[in-house]
Structure 1
Amino acid sequence: MRFVVSLINEYDPGPFPEDFDRRVIQLASNENPYPPHQEVISTLKNSVMEINRYPSPYYRKLKNLISEYLGVDSSNIAVSNGASDLLRLVTDLFIEPFDRVFIPMPSYTLYALFSMLREAQVVTKVFEGYRLDGCYDRGKLAFLCSPNNPTGNVIDRAVIEEFLENFDYVVVDEAYSEFAGTSVVDLINHYENLIVIRSFSKFFGLAGMRVGYAIAHENVARAIEKIRNPFSISTLAYKAAIAALENVDYYRKIAGLIVMERDRIAKRLGKMFYVYESHANFLLVRHEVGNLADRLMERGILVRDVTGLEGLEGPHFRVSVGRKHENDAFLSAVEEIT
């Protein structure tokens, strides 16, 4: 076993419903709480008999639909089984031992984990509330998250461009971008060192299918495709993603409902705690209530305790936006505890 593996902490996904012997409300994993479009469900049912065969390893139809969805050429698109796998592939592609990787904090911990596995020199810098006002370093690779997990805020385009001028490569993780209505995908036409990572898990509600994609200069996209597993997206996931893209208006309507609920929850929570401004499908909350996440868990409500994450001082939890009845149960439980 490589020595670096012993230095890395295992990724902690937080509590999951299957860990309990009773029904719980899952608000810990930033999932889309609404069911898939009916065509997605029908497609999955109709494709079950095909799972004895490999899918085409090129995923051309999916790439063509993503191309239409984002207004980029299909040659700029690489796909794999989830955004997290693409983050790993990017580090495999670019990072040599001792390369400098810059990660603003607080943010997604997998950036550091994958970089450490490549034996990179990982440099972190804390920005309160993840409010980046400029580029404060230079090196091989920088990881930026917009909207950021866990704070929920977006990074100004000018700041991202400043990073692009100072790093060999910049990853912008846009897993939650559809909830914010902002993107820097168009910058790939101006910067060959930009890699934008997107997901079908959040906006499109396919977290259990594991489909992600990268948008980058065609040479980078081709290189990612070269080193990923040849059948990285299953037949069912491939067809589900296609059906979701063919019914994007349904998901835009759902995103509108989620944003409305997010703002309602933020207003209620703001009377009790400090709530970070969010442009995603979750909220980050700073509080002073002892063991709040555990006490909510005792009431059958799962939130993500992120206390101790680099860049967060004091107790914090992150709560995903659920459906209205789930959010009401969460708010009632918090008010009861406080």
Structure 2
Amino acid sequence: MLPFIRSDLAQFNAYKPHPSSDTAAAIPVQLDRLDTNESPYDLPPELKEKLAWTYQQVIETNRYPDGGHETLKEAIAKYVNESASLTSPVFTATNISIGNGSDELIRSLLIATCLGGEGAILVANPTFSMYGILAKTLGIPVVTVARNLDNFEIDLKAAQSAIEQTQNPPIRVVFVVHPNSPTGNSLTTAELSWLKSLGEKILVVIDEAYFEFSQTTLVSELAQRPNWVVLRTFSKAFRLAALRVGYCVAHPQAIAILEKVRLPYNLPSFSIAAALAAMQNSQLLLETISPTLNEREKLIKLLSQHPALKVTKSAANFIFLRLLTNNPDPQNATLKTLHQELKASRTLVREISGGLRITIGTSDENTRTFNRIQAALANLEF
């Protein structure tokens, strides 16, 4: 360890992107990439052509991008109002902050709330790993509680106990995903009631990365709850994973603070143009939601018929499955073998939290995935 580096960083593991370089080297190029919850559909050709024209004729690469994002913020605010079916517009550009992916916004929220020993965060595992990773890189304590292994609901008794007992520093932020990743379950009435009971000194971050698939949003709560923020992304339903655009919806005072800690010119001009085009063509881009949901239900039905599999109900664009076995193995050797068998047969899925998270792909990809899972299971002992 270099002597000028913080000693605690030696204990951290970096987030490992998928597919990693070793995966790319080990497997032929033609892959079914169902491991990162991206859309299997690229942008429509006509939209790509329009963006290519924008890059060639409008964007000046020698100039810094729009650092205020005002036009994009206004377009996002309009979409947020529409997506919540609000009878009159509630959200404006003052309610929106835009980040280089949701990860940047998460980091900004942590900087604004917990840095310098001001607070800790609470997460219920399994969940999106970047909350904990980003907090630890900033030296912020991470308090974890478990979920029910049958339905993945948060252990609310443990969560409340953690809130009451954690001091020096106290829990300042609670992160939840709605629906949760990697398990796909939405927040329950009991979980929502608990979140609503938290005091105004605790920031509640609700990550709605998969809103377009669940069609369940909590943005309408923000007007009454200034200590709540909602995160969303263009990386999933809007097919812009390569361009890294996320946004936060919150009280104007919270947004003003995020703007203070945001890096200047944090979003490239081309990403801004693509996100604006996505907002202007949202109806076209979201046409893939219905077939994705149909494919999800079809795959859940097929996999649930296998006696060795337990598939969790999902409200997102992925499913989570676990193995049922008479010989429990704490090292998950059988699961790891299944994961490797799928990789060898050119299907990439994510092994995580004692199961496999499988992104819903195209109809052909899903059919191949099902057939490959069946073939791999036939060779495994349970």
SS at match of 2:249: strand
Q: Which letter maps to 2:102?
A: A
Aligned to 1:117: 137
CA deviation after TM superposition for structure 1 residue 164, in Å:
4.1
Distance 1:157 1:205 in 2: 31
Once the two structures are superposed, residues 58-115 of structure 1 have per-residue CA deviations (whole angstroms, 9 ceiling, x without a partner) of 1111111111111122101000110111111111111032623111111011111122
Distance 2:221 2:190 in 1: 11
Q: Which letter maps to 2:233?
A: S
CA deviation after TM superposition for structure 1 residue 130, in Å:
2.6
Q: Which letter maps to 1:327?
A: N
Once the two structures are superposed, residues 114-148 of structure 1 have per-residue CA deviations (whole angstroms, 9 ceiling, x without a partner) of 22223233211111243137452423110111110
Distance 2:155 2:290 in 1: 29
Q: In the alignment, is the contact (CA less than 8 A) between 1:199 and 1:211 conserved in 2?
A: yes
Q: Which letter maps to 1:32?
A: S
Distance 1:230 1:100 in 2: 27
The percentage of aligned residue pairs carrying the same residue is 28
Residue 332 of structure 1 pairs with residue 368 of structure 2:
no
What is the TM-score of this pair, normalised by structure 1?
0.93
Aligned to 1:292: 338
Consecutive unaligned residues of structure 1, counting only runs of 5 or more, are 310-314
Residue 302 of structure 1 pairs with residue 314 of structure 2:
no
SS at match of 2:242: coil
What is the 5 A alignment of 1:1-338?
Answer: 1-16=5-20, 18-19=24-25, 20-49=27-56, 50=59, 51-71=61-81, 72-96=91-115, 97=117, 99-128=119-148, 129-132=151-154, 134=156, 136=160, 137-138=162-163, 139-156=171-188, 159-167=191-199, 168-272=202-306, 273-287=309-323, 289-290=334-335, 291-306=337-352, 309=353, 315-338=354-377
Q: Which letter maps to 1:285?
A: L
Distance 1:6 1:298 in 2: 32
Distance 1:235 1:226 in 2: 20
Q: Which has the larger radius of gyration?
A: 2
Q: Which letter maps to 1:283?
A: I
Aligned to 1:312: none
Distance 1:331 1:265 in 2: 7
Q: Which letter maps to 1:62?
A: L
Consecutive unaligned residues of structure 2, counting only runs of 5 or more, are 82-90, 164-170, 326-333, 378-382
Q: Which letter maps to 2:152?
A: Y
CA deviation after TM superposition for structure 1 residue 326, in Å:
0.8
Distance 1:213 1:14 in 2: 23
Q: Which moved more, 1:278-287 or 1:93-102?
A: 93-102
CA deviation after TM superposition for structure 1 residue 156, in Å:
2.7
SS at match of 1:141: strand
Q: Which moved more, 1:58-67 or 1:16-25?
A: 16-25
CA deviation after TM superposition for structure 1 residue 321, in Å:
0.4
Distance 2:18 2:41 in 1: 21
CA deviation after TM superposition for structure 1 residue 216, in Å:
0.7
Q: Which letter maps to 1:256?
A: S
Once the two structures are superposed, residues 280-306 of structure 1 have per-residue CA deviations (whole angstroms, 9 ceiling, x without a partner) of 000001025451111011111101111
Q: Which moved more, 1:91-100 or 1:204-213?
A: 91-100
Distance 2:368 2:207 in 1: 31
SS at match of 2:241: coil
CA deviation after TM superposition for structure 1 residue 157, in Å:
5.3
Q: Which letter maps to 2:147?
A: F
Once the two structures are superposed, residues 241-270 of structure 1 have per-residue CA deviations (whole angstroms, 9 ceiling, x without a partner) of 111111111233201110100010011111
Distance 1:236 1:181 in 2: 28
What is the TM-score of this pair, normalised by structure 2?
0.82
